[in-house]
Amino acid sequence: MYSLTNEQIAFIEDDIRRNGIETEEVRENLLDHICCIVEQTMKEGDHFEGVYQQTIQQFYETELKEIEKETQYLLTFKNYYVMKKLMIISGTSSAFLLLVGSFFKAMHLPGAGVLLVLGVVFFSMVFLPMLYVVKSKELKTAGDKGVLGLSIAMGSLLCLAAMFKVMHWPGANVMWISGIGISLIALLPLYFFNGIKNPDRRLNTIVTSVILVGVLGVLFMLTRVHRPVNNTVYQPTGQVEKR
Amino acid sequence: MIFSSELVKGTLKTIVLKLLSENDRMYGYEITQKVKELTKDRIQITEGALYPTLHSLEKDGYVTTEKEYIGKRVRKYYSISPSGNSRIKEKLKEFSEFTETMSFLLDLKTAK
């Protein structure tokens, strides 16, 4: 039986790596498999590369990368359903907590703070990240995934900022203003130019962008941009005292 | 007659687990050769279907693996785990009921 040299083995490994087999475990398996077949079929006087090319062609229909893709698909498929379930549960429970929490707050009932904090934390730290994981699997281009990632990050930042504001925790304003700022400066242009390229989504992109500007404007309207709290600046003036 | 790969694909996990339950440990190439030999070439497992299945079985904990270095390359041996052993019993039961149902559905006895 023919025995492959180290150079030939290195050649095969390099070739399957270049053809898209990125996971080391898959590559090791395929390498050994190919070596076995080549060593079995190669006869005296056969050319190594010819035999190798013939062998590798039996492995796929259009490209070798299919094996890598199929493996990744099978490995993530299970988690996909678990995550989808977790997403729905966390989304429903956070919506419920927020609704009850705001009712309690409006009625000045005890426990409103705890309910609201739990609701926002569930919403922005569990539901939104899960939404990203589940939705990003359906998207193909890096641009789409980037826009989705940034919008979800900004969404959870703004939710947390609103919670900090309601609870009068420090840092609320910085979070709130940076959330609105990054959305306006980075997310909006990114979303707009990414979507406008695709003729099918052009109208949708324009409409959503306009709505986004409107919503951000309304949110900014609620923002009080006051000077830093400083005793020298905020010394009560005579006028204030007169009131 | 060689069976089509679509037909084989749905039963690949069952085939692999069954083979591993009867053999101590096997590596990928060995599995394909064994299936070929047992079925007299009528079922040929493609590499493109075998390895994704093996990796998914490993992740689910139905098989355990050990690696052996042969010069510059690594050979990964697969053996069945206790949970794989109970899984294959379920799979075999399911498959035998499936074949019964299919022969009834397709009325295979009268078709002969």
Please, which pLDDT band fits residue A209 given cuts at 50, 70 and 90? very high
pLDDT at A232 over 70: no
Measured between CB atoms, which of A32, A37, A59 is closest to B75?
A: A32
Residue B78 DSSP SS3: strand
Q: Tokens 């050769």 map to which residue?
A: B33
Does the B5-111 domain belong in CATH 1.10.10.10? yes
Q: What's phi and psi for B65, nearest 5 deg?
A: -130, 155
CA distance A115 to chain B (A): 38
Asked if A3 and A41 touch (Cβ cutoff 8 Å), the reply is: no
Q: What's phi and psi for B7, nearest 5 deg?
A: -65, -35
Measured between CB atoms, which of B27, B49, B54 is closest to A32?
A: B27
Nearest CA in chain A to B78: A29
pLDDT at A243 over 50: no
Q: Tokens 């996971």 map to which residue?
A: A23
Contacts of A32 in chain B (CB under 8 A): 27-29, 70, 73-76
Digit-coded pLDDT (tens) for B72-87? 889 999 999 999 999 9
Q: Is B10 exposed, middle or buried (0-12, 13-18, 19+ CB in 10 A)?
A: exposed
Average pLDDT taken over every residue of chain A: 87
CA distances from A186 to A141, A158, A183, A205 (A): 18, 15, 6, 16
Nearest CA in chain A to B54: A71
pTM assigned to the model:
0.58
Q: Does A71 touch chain B (CB under 8 A)?
A: yes
Among residues A240, A137, A222, A132, which one has the least CA distance to residue A179?
A222
**Which residue intervals of chain A are DSSP H helices?**
6-18, 24-41, 48-57, 65-106, 112-121, 128-136, 142-166, 172-182, 188-196, 202-221, 238-242
Nearest CA in chain B to A8: B72
Partner-chain contact B55 A37, CB within 8 Å: no
Measured between CB atoms, which of A29, A58, A71 is closest to B28?
A: A29
Instruction: Give residues with Cβ within 8 angstroms of B99, minimum separation 6.
Output: none
Contacts of B49 in chain A (CB under 8 A): 70
**Domain spans of chain B?**
5-111
Please, which pLDDT band fits residue A29 given cuts at 50, 70 and 90? very high
Partner-chain contact A33 B28, CB within 8 Å: yes
Terminal C-alpha separation, chain B: 17
pLDDT at B12 over 90: yes
Mean pLDDT on B50-61: 91
Asked if A196 and A149 touch (Cβ cutoff 8 Å), the reply is: no
Helix axes A48-57, A6-18, angle to 10 degrees: 40
Quick one: DSSP state of residue A201?
G
Q: State how far Cα A62 lies from the chain centre.
A: 30
Size of the A and B interface in Cβ pairs below 8 Å: 68
pLDDT at A239 over 50: no
CA distance B55 to chain A (A): 7
d(CA A34, CA A224): 67
CA distance A124 to chain B (A): 30
**Domain spans of chain A?**
6-59, 76-138, 141-228
Contacts of B53 in chain A (CB under 8 A): 74
Among residues A99, A126, A114, A218, which one has the least CA distance to residue A167?
A114
Chain B residues 22-81 with a CB less than 8 Å from chain A: 27-29, 32, 46-49, 51-56, 59-60, 67, 70-76
HSE-up of residue A207 (Cα within 13 Å, Cβ side): 4
Contacts of A25 in chain B (CB under 8 A): 55, 76
Confidence at residue A137, expressed as pLDDT on a 0 to 100 scale: 77
CA distances from B94 to A86, B89, B98, B99 (A): 29, 9, 6, 9
Sign, CA dihedral A177-A179-A185-A188, equals: negative
Q: ipTM of this model? A: 0.86
Please, which pLDDT band fits residue A134 given cuts at 50, 70 and 90? confident
Contacts of B75 in chain A (CB under 8 A): 32
Question: Which of B2, B16, B51 has the most A C-beta neighbours within 10 Å, making it the best mutation to test the interface with A?
Answer: B51
Q: What's phi and psi for A69, nearest 5 deg?
A: -60, -45
Quick one: DSSP state of residue B69?
E
Confidence at residue A78, expressed as pLDDT on a 0 to 100 scale: 67
**Which contiguous run of DSSP H or E holds residue A198?**
none
Partner-chain contact B52 A67, CB within 8 Å: yes
Partner-chain contact A67 B51, CB within 8 Å: yes
d(CA A163, CA A148): 23
